[in-house]
Structures are given as C-alpha cells and as structure tokens.
Amino acid sequence: MTSSPTAQLSALGVSIWLDDLSRDRITSGGLAALIADRNVVGVTTNPTIFASALATGTTYDAQIRELAAAGADVTRAVFEITTDDVAAASDIFADVYAATSGQDGRVSIEVEPGLAHDAAGTIAQARELWAKVDRPNAMIKIPATLEGLEAITETIAAGISVNVTLIFSLDRHRAVIDAYLAGLEKAHAAGHDLSTIHSVASFFVSRVDTEVDRRLAEIGTPEALALKSKAGVANARLAYEVFEQAFASDRAAALLAAGANVQRPLWASTGVKDPALPDTLYVTELAVGRTVNTMPEKTLQATFDHGVITGDAVTGTYDEARTVLRSLEALGVSYDEVTALLEKEGVEKFIVSWNELLDTVSAALEAAR
C-alpha cells in the first residue's frame, strides 16, 4: 500500500499544521481525526480564524452566558474564549508534542493586531497569553514588523516559544532570524534551557503572487504574463536559502551546541487564490525538510487527495528563483514596494478581523445579559 501524500510530506520532514481552529473542531473530535488521518501535527490561529469561528454555530453560547453573568467586558471575553480554545487544542496535541520533543504539537495564538507597532505592548501581551494558556506546546504569534523584532527577542529571552507571522521579504526574514538568535543569547545568559524554546518564521506565499500577478496583468506583455504565479514560490525558496545560511553561521552553531533549536521556516498563506493554478501548488513546490506548512482544511484535503510529492523541491532551485525575482524587477515590479505593501495590508486585515471579533462577542454578551 502506498502512503498518502500527507504521509510522504511528513516523511520528508514537512510538519503539517492546520490553519484553523474552532470550539466545534475541538469538541466534535474533528481535530483529533485530522491528527489521526491527515498527519496534522499542529494548529495556527489568527484574528480572522477566531472571527469566523465565533460568527457561526452555538458552541460558544454557554461560555458567553457565563462571561455576561460575570460582567466581563468584550476584551476580557475574547481573551478568555480564545485562550480556552488554544489550551484545549494544546491538550489534544500533547502526545504529538511529547513524541517530537516539542518541535510539533504546537498551537499558536496571536497578540492583538493593534499592537503590531507597539513593542512594549506586544511583549506584555505575549507574556499574558503564555501565562493564561499555560501549556508548554503553545506558541505566541508576533508579527514581523520593525517594532515586532524587539518583541520577538524579548519574548524568546523570557523562554516563551514564538511563531513570527507576516514575513514577506527576504531582508525581513534575515532580521527575524537575527531577533530569534539575540533572544536565545539572552535566554541562555538568564539560565533558560534553550532546548525548550521553539520558534517558526511564517513566510507568506500566495499573497505575494496575488499582488505581483495583479501588477504583471497591468503590464500585459507576453514577458510579464509568462512570469505570473512564479514570485511566491521563488521568494519562499530563497527564504529557505536564508534559513540555511543563517543557521550555518558560527553564531547559530554556538547556540545549537548549547541545546537551541533552529527557527524553522513555516509556509503560510498556502491556499491557492487563482483557480487556474493547481490547488496544491504551495505545498508540492515548497516541500523540503525542516519546514512547517500550515494549510487551510481545503488545501489539506486537496493535498491528501491528489498532491504529488516528488521529494525536495527547494534546495538547488535558488539560482532559478533569483532569476524570477530579477526578471520582475526588470519589468518594473518593485520587490520592496510589493513586500512593504503586503506587510501593511496584512496588519490592517487582521485589525479588521479583530474588530469583527469584538463586535460579534459584544453583541453576544449584550444578548446574554
């Protein structure tokens, strides 16, 4: 019997995390089923995911009534609801966490997106979330804004595992790795066991193609159209080269020798937006060891059903990837402009979702009072 594509990915060293969470998924056994049947070994959440979860179904009604009776305001209610979900999901993944020495079995929860440009506020909330969830296999998501870099260092320094989100450019990826290493150095000096601190660097893929392809379509020449849907994969492959180079450095080697873990690249935004493209594009073309691929369930099921895993699709592709990015620049598609815009939009989209979440919970609290 041939193994499934998701099993083949896992054997290659790709950790499959589900980019979704809801209380219904937790209580129905659906999440446990994906662990058993689809090789899922972790979960990522964000404000959009929680806004969607709270807007549907009745699984939160009892807790909403309790919070309303206790006089909780909307901010406290959202904090309680989301951290409860993450703690419950963390318990479901406890065996995976133990079996992988803490590498997987991770459940991520994000700091409020309104803190994306507030280093001190992010650091404080990261500690608060970590303490409230109170599970060793939680991960605190911190955006890779310039202000976020300081927060990454200080949170890692405190011995807290971090999922760095909203990375779009290679330069920012280098800065994120640097912030992680600086945090490990501070943690080591403070006497923390480095082996217990884990981090992933969430590098966004499909959003790059969406923005670049829009610009290529405006240019409209045959040369421009020939480059459509190539930027996202090329950019991510070069992010893997950045990872390889950074963790081969003397600085990283000293930390690894002291028990530290590498900060694995995590491929995020892996749902394919263009229906003309293969729906497993950002899985099969980025398959390589020491990575995480966080997938919406639709992408996960497509991969299980018909993904073709041909082995390492990344190492050895760097020159070709550089050619793609150089060709885009030559056509007038500015890499720096695209990635700066995507970071700005990424933060803004999460703030919109966060406000939707607050509105949903606020209305539910009012109805329950």
CB 333 within 8 A of CB 212: yes
How many CB atoms sit inside 10 A of residue 362's CB? 15
3-class secondary-structure state, position 182: helix
Q: How far apart are CA 108 and CA 124, in angstroms?
A: 17
CB 271 within 8 A of CB 299: yes
Q: How far apart are CA 64 and CA 104, in angstroms?
A: 31
How many CB atoms sit inside 10 A of residue 130's CB? 22
Measured CA to CA in angstroms, residue 176 lies from 44, 141, 143, 359 at distances of 19, 13, 10, 33
CB 271 within 8 A of CB 298: yes
Measured CA to CA in angstroms, residue 110 lies from 115, 264, 352 at distances of 10, 18, 14
Q: How far apart are CA 290 and CA 15, in angstroms?
A: 8
Measured CA to CA in angstroms, residue 26 lies from 92, 100, 325 at distances of 8, 21, 42
Those residues whose C-beta lies under 8 Å from the C-beta of residue 81, and which sit 6 or more positions away, are 50, 54, 60, 63, 64, 67, 361
Measured CA to CA in angstroms, residue 141 lies from 15, 30, 260, 298 at distances of 18, 24, 19, 23
CB 146 within 8 A of CB 126: no
Among candidate residues 132, 141, 344, 349, the one labeled active-site is: 141
Annotated catalytic, 228?
no
Q: How far apart are CA 308 and CA 47, in angstroms?
A: 32
Q: Which of 2, 90, 1, 9 is nearest to 303 (CA)?
A: 9
Q: What is the CA radius of gyration of the chain?
A: 20
Kindly list the catalytic residues.
Answer: 141
